[in-house]
Structure 1
């Protein structure tokens, strides 16, 4: 059945620091914050805040539930499509989002999509997919320091009146707190991590694969009384990132991300763009050292090969749903600088074929190629053999799909997964024939260190 047509209505609100709103909304059980940190720019312009969804969806243990009620079938992406269909089709114009679904799909959704069995027991405390359908959104324009409230609701005037009254009474957030110490325990020893990398190199040498991503998890008991808002305020200050996120998934699980990596963006022009990250160097302590590290990354044969293989993989993934002849690589092997690291980044673009949409694009491309390997299917089998524990949300994606069909998504890396009892951090890296296992372990530590440092812990 065709979806009804709707309209997007907006109102202007005086600028407030997003931190004030996060603090005021800290106890909302389905708060969704799609954050942007660092310098404002084309990929870091908007912060999107939503709360109080119309419907919620969860996929856990192979069973889908909408609003807590089981739904027919076991296909999480079809359930996501059905959820989105409950909203009208509405052109958002210049706004990035006015309503639609926001959520995350963990690595397990990608395993399901690729038909990869797993030997690991999933963590029953967290969902494999969690999403919510929102009918309005706060939009913070960081470039122009403006705030807009956008909605697809027909009773926009009532919503706007309530928001203006709440906005006027919004108190400033208190100063952020220092997080209490929390010791993190890795899921394997350094020697075992190095051995897993060495085993991956052997599998590459044997011709099974060209590249594989090996990762590990660190787990801490959650300090008593520590709130998600305190963790996320500390994270977004310490690790500003263009694709940050805080998803409060009903109160019993939260995802707190400082991702530097866009997964797939789908514009209203039906052009899909993905920006895989492969290749890492630390930041220098002086401008001169920083420049040398950037140049070293740009010239490193191993890092360049790693990036090129994932570019080829993503060309294939997008090509599954693209118009023939439309796949291109507009940017190749660029060095981008973030708060703690330099990364090697490329871009692959394609125009969707007629009849294909955002859900089809996710089905064709999950899990992200940059955190699996090439060929993807066999790399995922080897990952399941060599990694010690279930990845959970890590190496999945955070996504938003608007009522206009546009989508943006990020890879879940540099993230914390929090339950009432535990906090999990994870990191890893791409392994090629040129990989040195000790160096790969050091790179994993470099990536996870800023997360653990929030709790006075070290890898």
Structure 2
């Protein structure tokens, strides 16, 4: 392991080509999480991160965050949840490591946590009924490095329980075995909260708001729901095979299980260097016809509409980063790059900056939350319109799953292409940005293209 500041507890494990075996070895533990590059290629597919049994948890509902420490009574606070998380992480601050994560926070930050940042109307129904934030503070992690083909169990040893359980953890992970097979089924009708007529009505209202000068772009999403039962890990294993994505995750909490195959990074911080990669612009893939597949990609890159839509969000994110980054450090080294995934092509821009010396990683997340690519521009007005036109609150969808290390490093996705399972219901969403020259049929089809992988998953689970 090449690290200038190795954590106090570190043991090398047998490398696994697929990390699902490693996760299966510990997924019976509380709050088990799997940050999964899903064997995608390139830098973003290098590391998988697995952790469980956090020694602190934070769950936010409405105005209250409950903080629970191992074996002690929980505390409640009405303070800003981002601030509460930042305070805990700073108490355990550690030097930088070459590994992406050796301990710290992992969890989800729902889209509706944005209500703690901006004042929004309360019109949409909260059908999710799960916490707006669910984050564990983890003292150990498994890091599977697909580039070096090496694997480690690492810990800063901040929780006494880690020392007591170290030998047991090693035993579990050194010879992981496939668990007994289980099932996961869906049944009944797949329901959508916006049929074609309702979608058209919302679309026309957004176009009218744009014409009146209220906004430039609004992301409009549809929500799908179906009854389900069984072990959602089975569904996730299928999802990651059908729709491999570099920012995938399987996250368990007492309230819900989140299955994400997200292609989109929200924010990365590595030694104060910040990167965000918004996606705006989509075309379906045609893997049966390579020539047509390449043509669809070129058409996306050449589309003036999609480039203009992407540029709007680039400008929004440059402004968000400007709140917490060093003046003059923000740049756009890669605008409008074509990135291809299992079912779609996307137009992706890369924006970078340097986090100011007096700013913390959690403050950066708050400054950019929720991500501009899934709201619209200007952000606050777009969020107000989303609240008006989408029948249900988004919950986890369009929020973020993130790790934030004790060393201040972070990586986070935007929770698109994501399913949530709780109370024997499976939900997922798909949406797209609407601008002045958007056409109804094209936008409706784009949403269908984005939902394709999840719709196929649902059908396979019947």
TM-score bucket (shorter structure): over 0.9
Matched, 1:201 2:203: no
Displacement after TM superposition at 1:191 (Å): 1.3
For residue 82 of structure 1, the aligned residue among 80, 87, 90 is 87
Determine the structure 2 residue equivalent to 1:96: 100
Q: Return the alpha-carbon distance in structure 2 between the equivalents of residues 438 and 128 of structure 1.
A: 33
Contact 1:283 1:341 (8 Å CA) reproduced: yes
Question: In the alignment, which residue of structure 1 is the partner of 2:10?
Answer: 10
Counterpart of 2:77 in 1: which secondary structure?
coil
- Measured against aligned partners, the alpha-carbon deviations of 1:204-249 in whole angstroms (never above 9, x if no partner) come to 11111111101110111123xx112112111111111100011101
The separation in 1 between residues aligned to 2:274 and 2:122, in whole angstroms, is: 30
CA RMSD after TM alignment: 2.1
User: Does residue 186 of the first structure (1) align with residue 189 of the second (2)?
Assistant: no
Contact 2:37–2:45, Cα closer than 8 Å, also in 1: yes
Number of residue equivalences? 449
**Residues 437 and 38 (structure 1 numbering): CA distance in 2 closer, same or farther, change over 3 Å?**
farther
Which of residues 382, 390, 395 in structure 2 aligns to 1:392?
395
1:119 aligns with 2:120: no
Deviation at 1:257?
0.4
> Is contact 1:57-1:83 (8 Å) kept?
no
Counterpart CA distance in 2 for 1:190 and 1:302 is 23
Q: 2:278 aligned to 259, 269, 276, which one?
A: 276
1:316 aligned residue: 319
1:303-452 matches, cutoff 5 A: 303-452=306-455
Q: Determine helix, strand or coil for the equivalent of 2:348.
A: strand
Question: For 1:184, what is the secondary structure of its paired residue?
Answer: strand
Q: Which runs of 5+ in 1 are unaligned?
A: none
Aligned partner of 2:224 in structure 1 is 218
Change (3 A) 1:124 1:274: closer
The alpha-carbon deviation at position 118 of structure 1 amounts to: 2.3
In the alignment, the residues of structure 2 paired with residue 444 and residue 188 of structure 1 have an alpha-carbon distance, to the nearest angstrom, of 12
Q: CA deviation at 1:76?
A: 1.2
TM-score of the pair, normalised by structure 1 = 0.93
Q: How far apart in 2 are the matches of 1:197 and 1:69? A: 45
In structure 2, distance between residues paired with 1:196 and 1:189: 11
Mapped to 2, the partners of 1:174 and 1:15 lie a distance apart of: 22
Q: In 2, distance between residues paired with 1:58 and 1:129?
A: 5
Aligned counterparts of 1:135 and 1:419: Cα–Cα separation in 2? 27
State the secondary structure of the residue aligned to 1:333: strand
Q: TM-score, normalised by structure 2?
A: 0.92
> SS state of the match for residue 101, structure 2?
coil
Q: Secondary structure at the match of 1:183?
A: strand
The Cα of 1:144 is off from its aligned counterpart by: 2.5
Matched, 1:72 2:73: no
Q: Is the 8 A contact 1:196 1:386 kept in 2?
A: yes
Confirm or deny: 8 A CA contact 1:11 1:160 kept in the other structure: no
* Displacement of 1:190: 1.4
1:63 paired to 2:64: yes
Q: Structure 1, residues 394-433: CA drift from partner, whole Å, max 9, x if none?
A: 1101111101111111001000011032111101001111
Offset at residue 27 of structure 1 (A): 2.8
Kept in 1, the 8 Å contact 2:8–2:156? The answer is yes
Q: Is the 8 A contact 1:116 1:380 kept in 2?
A: yes
Give the corresponding residue for 1:40: 41
Q: Could you tell me how far apart the structure 1 residues matched to 2:440 and 2:39 are?
A: 32
Query: 1:105-146: CA deviations, max 9, x gaps?
Result: 101112321222321232363110000000110001112322
Post-superposition shift, 1:157?
Answer: 6.7
Match in the other structure for 1:144: 148
**In structure 1, C-alpha distance between the alignment counterparts of 2:322 and 2:173, rounded to whole Å:** 46
Pairing partner for 1:247 from 246, 251, 254:
251
Distance 1:168 1:393 in 2: 34
How far is the alpha carbon of 1:93 from its aligned partner? 2.0
User: Equivalents in 1 of 2:344, 2:440: separation in Å?
Assistant: 20
Ranges in structure 2 where 5+ consecutive residues have no aligned partner: none
Residues 443/389 of structure 1: CA separation in 2 closer, same or farther (3 Å cut): same
For residue 42 of structure 1, report the CA deviation from its aligned partner.
Answer: 1.0
Deviation at 1:8, TM superposition (A): 4.3
Q: CA deviation at 1:92?
A: 4.3
Corresponding residue SS for 2:45: coil
The 1:363–1:168 alpha-carbon spacing in structure 2 relative to 1, beyond 3 Å, is closer
Structure 1 residue 265: Cα displacement? 0.5
Could you tell me how far apart the structure 2 residues matched to 1:165 and 1:457 are?
35
Kept after mapping to 2: 8 A contact 1:57/1:66: yes
